Structure formats: structure tokens, C-alpha cells
Structure 1
Amino acid sequence: MRAQPTAEAVIGGVTGSLKEPLTLLLGRYDEAGRLWMVARTTELTTAVRRGVGRRLTPAGSEHPWHGRNFSAGWGASGELEFRTVKPHLVAEFVADTAVDASRYRHPVRFVRLRDDLTPHEMPLFTT
């Protein structure tokens, strides 16, 4: 079996409910401290939804993505409906190599939460 390289990013939002998120919206900070969306996960399994959902904290209007719109993408039209969460959890994921302007072009696969990393230990977002 071939080893697949992984990467990490901050969980900044979710689709579905906070208690059992369907997908995760992942971001990285730039040098100025702005949080940019870099990836969206594929749908999470039921067990992962519940486990991650227990750790999420809703964010208020102070969240960097409050009032932002993201394209639904990947074959869907319109805007993505999502909920912001406090960006304090780091997710490890597997992705293909299709990266465009520091954003993953295809959905990524969630691997696990990385309690040993903080959001500011992630690689910086660059354009």
C-alpha cells in the first residue's frame, strides 16, 4: 500500500449542523493574520461527525468568515451554506496534488484532529 502524504489546516466552518457536521471548511492564516479558506472535506462518517461535533465551538460575528460567501463548487451551483466555528482545532487531511493559489481544487479527506498542533503552527496561506 502506498503512503499518502497528509497536510493540516484549521477548522473554520462546517456544513450541516455543529453537533454533527457534514463537511469541514479548512483554512490557513496569511502573514497579516487573515484566515483564508483552503479546502473543504468530503462528507464525514457518522462516527467522525459526532466526535468532531463534540469539540466544535460556535463562532460569533468576530469570526473572520462572518458575512462571507463561498461557492458551493464541485458540481453544485450557488453559495455554500455553512456555519462558522471558533478556529482553534487543527485537522489533518489527505489531498491530491491539485493546488491552485494555495487552495486545494478537489475535496480533501479528513484523517484526524491534531491536538498537538495550534492554528498558528500551520503553513502560511500565500497567494
Structure 2
Amino acid sequence: MTWPLPEPMLTVAVDSPAVPAGWAAEPKWDGYRAQLAAYAGGRVLLRSRQGTDMTGSFPEVRAAALAQLPADTGLDDELIVWESDRLAFERLQQRLARRGAAAVQGAREWLAHFVAFDLVHRGDDLTAWPYTRRPLQG
């Protein structure tokens, strides 16, 4: 059974870096904002904030999700690529165009990392729960 991922939670500009009580903040990485769904039966979907399926371009992320996430888990996240000591957005862009064997080779050259921000689904849609009740661990 599959379930829909919620609309992506996008950033909002603020006047102050102070985080008000009851709010959460996350850093802006130089990557692709994405969402990941691990479904029962071994299906994984990695999609961009615009809804584009990116799963085939990042086989290492798919493999990690299959190995580490329980079925019926949805995460709000960002994909990044490190090159030496910096985030390399251009490498991430080059990876997006690759599929199949080229995507596997791309993973060898420029490994993508998955930075999870929020647990949005775990058997049920959790987006109505307070952020503090949706821990990424445990």
C-alpha cells in the first residue's frame, strides 16, 4: 500500500536568527530540498519539492533507505554532495541527469548525502503532530 507524501515544508525568511519558543529551525544547505518515502514491499520514492521523481538518480540514497528505514516512513530532507571541504551543488545537478549505470557511476564519483529534517509519516501522517512529538530517532 502506498500513501501520499504531504506538501513539502518550505523555508520562510525571518528578520532575526533567534528561534521563537515553539518553533524549530534548520540550516540552509546547498542542496536539493526533497522528500523520501519508504513503502512496504521495498518501494522507495525520492522526490523534489516540485514533485519530480529523483529516485533513479540517487541509487545510494534508495539503497540506504531500504536498509535503514522501516516501511511506511516518510521524511522531509535535503540532498547534498560534498566535494573536498565544500558543498558542491553543481555535482548534485550533474547527478540528477543520470539514470541506471550512469547513476551508479555518479554515486561512486560524487556520493549524495541525505540530511533528514523531519519525520512526516510513520504508519500515519504525522504532520498534524507537534514537531517535538516527531523525533527522527527512536
Which TM-score bucket, shorter chain as reference? Answer: 0.3 to 0.5
Structure of higher RCO (CA pairs closer than 8 Å, 6+ residues apart): 1
Q: Which has the larger radius of gyration?
A: 2
Provide the TM-score with structure 2 as the length reference: 0.32
Provide the TM-score with structure 1 as the length reference: 0.34
Q: Which has the higher helix share?
A: 2
